[in-house]
Structure 1
Amino acid sequence: MAKILVVEDHKELSDLIRDSLTANECLVDCVQSGPEALNQLRLYEYDLIILDLNLPGLSGIDVCRTFRQHGGNTPVLMLTGNRTIDDKELGFEAGADDYLCKPFHFRELVLRANAMIRRGVGQAANSSILTVGNISLYIKEHRITKNDIEINLLPKEFALMEFFVRHPNQVFSAEALIQRVWPSTTDSSPETIRSYITRLRSKLGASEDDPVIATVHGVGYKLVTSHP
């Protein structure tokens, strides 16, 4: 499940963008100014940034340039009402990856967003079926199986499991999992993560020999690859 930051000062348009992306099963955070965007990017990681060119406080060009200068490599889709090549050139020079001119069709926005996210996270995102060891995740159907037995998961449990399956054997702290799987406006805590991990282990039949999600004490959690 991709996490996207939308930076757009017109709330009505921002809400429509959010709704379109949410319907496409993305997690979406929205802010309305340049300084808010940079602050959000300091606190959270995203798979895509949708950035309006004209923003209060700091322009989209300046936000993009500052983000890139500080090592940010998240794909940036710039939105603008300006169709001149000079304006687009400024955006590309600042580090934007693509441009979409207003007014635009929301279906095109979603298509571009999906394409940029695929390029950003690699070819695994292109697949509708993810398999790690004896666990298979069917993205489009929102299904998960272990040893070919289907497991019923709640939406947030599925989102957390999808993140683990995309990053097998990598350790993530509770805070990192909150940043990547929960919207920033959600009041979540390490206790929330522990609760979800416990439920996932129970539903996936974890055992001492097959912990599924292992605790790395003092660090975090990781999906342990297992082979049938």
Structure 2
Amino acid sequence: MHVLVVEDEQRLAYLLRRVLLEERHTVDLAYDGDKGLDLALSDTYDVVVLDLMLPGIDGLEICRQLRAERIMTPVLMLTARGAVEDRVTGLNVGADDYLTKPFAMEELLARINALLRRRDRRFDEASQLSIGDLTLDLVRHEVRRTGRIVDLTAKEFALLEYLLRHPGQALSRTQIVDAVWRYDLEGLSNVVDIYIHYLRDKIDQGFAYPLIKTVRGVGYKIDARQ
């Protein structure tokens, strides 16, 4: 899981990073609102832990701008303020949950896991994923492009499903391995590249335009824009 922590108290930010790394998550840190917004707008995160009071743009404005851009990454907002009005304001601009400082790290992790379960349930409610002229049917376990059935192995199907759940997002090889293979990358440095090659041969080769794009220095994304 890829987590963005936007927190100007550096000691707390480092502690959050250490705790999340111990839980085997990938963590990026930002210490001010401008940097936090820039990173969050990349839409490559599974969850954003966002402080309310920040130098520059505050947490409310970051959350507001994310939702305005239709980026629905779950947001857990942190604040020293405990007033009901502050919590309501945060939730109204699009935050998914609220945690008042000081807090126990166990509660933070529990709330993050709850947000991820809620997100996954929303994903599971959709029986089809699509982009451009390609559709993936989760119930029939069937892939079609321009109406033509494309035969995929189970792992190719899982890889395509993960890409489709993050359309237009640049996904690193580590993120892909964590989501599709669910074990450490060690010894698998080229497995993602190999399976991307397999997938391209089946869903891109012979069609009008490619869907799977290489993002140099990062990994891959699926995008219908030509």
Q: Give the TM-score normalised by the residue count of structure 2.
A: 0.62
1:220 aligns to 2:212 (yes or no):
yes
Pair 1:80–1:91, CA change in 2 (3 A):
same
Structure 2 match to 1:14: 13
Unpaired runs of 5+ in structure 1?
126-132, 134-145, 148-160, 183-192, 202-210, 223-228
Q: Give the TM-score normalised by the residue count of structure 1.
A: 0.61
Return the letter of the residue paired with 1:214. L
Structure 2 match to 1:91: 90
- Contact 1:46–1:74 (Cα < 8 Å) also in 2: yes
SS at match of 1:167: helix
Tell me which of 191, 195, 198 is aligned to 2:190: 195
What are the superposed Cα offsets for residues 104-135 of structure 1, whole Å, 9 maximum, x if unpaired? 1111111110110111122889xxxxxxx9xx
1:167 aligns to 2:161 (yes or no):
yes
Structure 2 match to 1:178: 172
Return the letter of the residue paired with 2:170. A
Q: How many residues align?
A: 169
Pair 1:88–1:179, CA change in 2 (3 A):
farther
Could you list the runs of 4 or more consecutive aligned residues of structure 1 that deviate by over 6 angstroms after TM superposition? Answer: 171-175
Structure 2 match to 1:115: 114
What are the superposed Cα offsets for residues 47-104 of structure 1, whole Å, 9 maximum, x if unpaired? 1111001000011111111111221211111101111111112111111111111111
Unpaired runs of 5+ in structure 2?
125-140, 142-152, 177-187, 214-219, 221-226
CA RMSD of aligned residues (A): 3.8
SS at match of 2:77: strand
SS at match of 1:78: strand
- Contact 2:6–2:32 (Cα < 8 Å) also in 1: yes
